[in-house]
Amino acid sequence: MKWEIKQFNSLVSTNTTAREYPAGTIVMAETQTGGRGRYGRIWQSPRGNLYVSFVFESNPMRDQYLSFLTGLALAESLPEFNVRLKWPNDVLLEGKKVAGILLENAGDKIIVGIGVNLVNNPDKNMLYPTANLGGRLSPIGLVKRLMIQYEALFAVFEKKGFNKIRARWLDLATGVGETISVHLPTEELIGTFHGISDEGALLLKTGKKVRSITAGDVFLI
């Protein structure tokens, strides 16, 4: 895909602005005044970090797997940091959250927002402990890496489907085969991270049963 990069000093949210642009656009901002994460949580956006949204044409065969493709693209863009992936869409550095992903539908487009703590990380009132990459990469430098990784992974997906992507994602995932806690809106579940389903759901083994979970907050125990 041929990309066009739009760079801004400050936006309310790169995901919000990205809705105004066609597929093939990358929207970047030095800071956000209303950055958000999953479930409407605030995404703190000090200058120096990466705040970017990729605009993709909606593809029913691929959309449900974009969080895995994005997480894998991001992890493989950071080989020098030995990062790990956490279901459904977090990237960890030494067990601490260093990046997050937010997907939003926009008609015939899908917006993939990515926030990476390049130089700063919030350390108060956070759901998970956080880390940063120590300023070793620039925002535009990481975006260029992501563009390359997206192209490569989309080619793999088109040829070999989700099974190949899932295998590579699980190789980098944290908590597989271990006891985890999954927080749902009305309950907390504890079990063994048993894998990922064909649809991308987390498989949680509790006793002799395996439960398929499509959304929730995962904590390592």
pLDDT digit string, tens, across residues 4-35:
999 999 999 999 999 999 999 999 999 998 87
pLDDT of residue 52: 98
Most distant CA pair in the chain, distance: 53
Kindly state the percentage of the chain with pLDDT values over 70. Answer: 97
pLDDT digit string, tens, across residues 58-93:
999 999 999 999 999 999 999 999 999 999 889 999
Token pair in block for residue 48? 């120096």
pLDDT digit string, tens, across residues 84-119:
999 988 999 999 999 999 999 999 999 999 999 999
pLDDT of residue 38 exceeding 90, the answer is no
pLDDT of residue 42 exceeding 80, the answer is no
- Tokens 């260029």, residue located: 144
pLDDT of residue 185 exceeding 70, the answer is yes
pLDDT of residue 41 exceeding 90, the answer is no
More confident residue, 221 or 24: 24
For residue 149, the SS3 value is helix
pLDDT of residue 179: 94
pLDDT of residue 39 exceeding 70, the answer is no
pLDDT of residue 125: 62
- pTM for the full predicted model: 0.93
Backbone angles phi, psi at 52, to 5 degrees: -145, 150
Token pair in block for residue 40? 């409407």
Range 3-8, long-range pairs (CB < 8 A, 24+ positions): 3/147, 5/140, 5/143, 7/140
CATH 3.30.930.10 domain position(s) in the chain: 4-171
CATH 2.30.30.100 domain position(s) in the chain: 179-220
**Nearest residue to 23 via CA among 74, 72, 66:** 66
10 Å CB burial of residue 168 (0-12, 13-18, 19+) is middle
**CATH homologous superfamily of 4-171:** Bira Bifunctional Protein; Domain 2 (3.30.930.10)
Token pair in block for residue 18? 């990205």
Sign of the four-CA dihedral 154, 116, 172, 199 = negative
pLDDT of residue 91: 96
Task: Report the CATH number of the 179-220 domain.
Answer: 2.30.30.100
Quote the mean pLDDT of the chain.
Answer: 93
Q: Which of 38-42, 110-114, 191-195, 199-203 has the lowest mean pLDDT?
A: 38-42
